[in-house]
């Protein structure tokens, strides 16, 4: 849930504010802003598709933590690095900003494949419940992220500041991604009781 919250925060920052970012930061007309925003969103679609490589990594390596934890952590790190130039380079051209944002959204969306695999790894008999619990983290971010982004922009007039918050969340997500244990299967209370009962007769 915590890792997916970090992912969802960045997702909804992009979905909620990218068109407005180009419009207000670079004073473009609506049509030009939409073109740049569409390029960023298309990069995210590619990231969603390529993120399915998590299963190929698992088949080839046999290491579930490599396919899930490491892939999520690396993608979040690359998201953070992609967004960093927006904060560090003053007077960045709109083209370079679009490239950085496209890369950031691409890598952020690459986490989708491994993240949605983790509930099935940890709770194979109850993947729907586990997925719903995980997705509540992103749902919470869906509520908070756009409002926080708007509040920061209203208070400061700085359209780059929400990306700073997203970078902090990405850094937290990197650390938290390695606390997930897709290599351990959770047992229900019923399964534990059955196992304990069976052991009495062994």
> CA 40, 74, 9, 4 torsion: positive or negative?
positive
Q: pTM of the predicted model, to two decimals?
A: 0.85
91: pLDDT strictly greater than 90: no
Q: Picking from 23-27, 77-81, 108-112, 145-149, which range would have the lowest pLDDT averaged per residue?
A: 23-27
Q: What percent of the chain has pLDDT over 70?
A: 92
Q: Quick one: DSSP state of residue 89?
A: S
For residue 126, what are the domain limits? Answer: 2-199
Q: 153-162: per-residue pLDDT in tens? A: 889 888 888 8
Min mean pLDDT across 91-105, 151-165, 179-193 is at 179-193
**How does pLDDT run across 41-66, given as a tens digit for each residue?**
999 999 999 999 999 999 999 999 99
Question: In this structure, how many other beta carbons lie within 10 angstroms of the beta carbon of residue 58?
Answer: 20
Q: Which one is predicted more confidently, 192 or 184?
A: 184
CATH code (residue 80):
1.20.1250.20
Model confidence over 102-118: pLDDT tens digits? 999 999 999 999 999 99
Q: Is-contact 134 119, C-beta < 8 A?
A: yes
Angle among Cα 180, 185, 190 to the nearest 5 degrees reads: 130
Sign of CA dihedral 87, 92, 93, 96: negative
What is the C-alpha separation between 44 and 85, in angstroms, rounded?
19
pLDDT at position 24? 80
Structurally, the chain folds into a number of domains equal to 1
């Amino acid at each position: 849930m915590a890792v997916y919250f970090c992912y969802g925060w960045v997702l909804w920052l992009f979905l909620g504010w990218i068109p407005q970012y180009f419009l207000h930061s670079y004073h473009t007309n609506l049509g030009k802003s939409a073109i740049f925003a569409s390029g960023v969103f298309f990069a995210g679609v590619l990231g969603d598709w390529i993120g399915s490589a998590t299963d190929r990594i698992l088949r080839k390596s046999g290491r579930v933590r490599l396919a899930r934890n490491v892939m999520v952590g690396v993608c979040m790190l690359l998201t953070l690095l992609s967004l960093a130039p927006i904060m560090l380079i003053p007077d960045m051209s709109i083209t370079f900003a679009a490239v950085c944002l496209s890369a950031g959204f691409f890598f952020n969306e690459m986490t989708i494949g491994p993240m949605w695999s983790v509930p099935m790894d940890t709770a194979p008999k109850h993947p729907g419940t586990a997925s719903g619990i995980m997705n509540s983290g992103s749902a919470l971010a869906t509520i908070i992220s756009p409002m926080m982004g708007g509040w920061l922009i209203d208070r400061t007039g700085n359209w780059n500041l929400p990306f700073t918050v997203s970078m902090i969340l990405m850094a937290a997500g990197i650390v938290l991604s390695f606390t997930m244990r897709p290599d351990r299967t959770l047992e229900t209370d019923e399964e534990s009781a059955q196992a304990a009962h069976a052991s009495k007769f062994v």
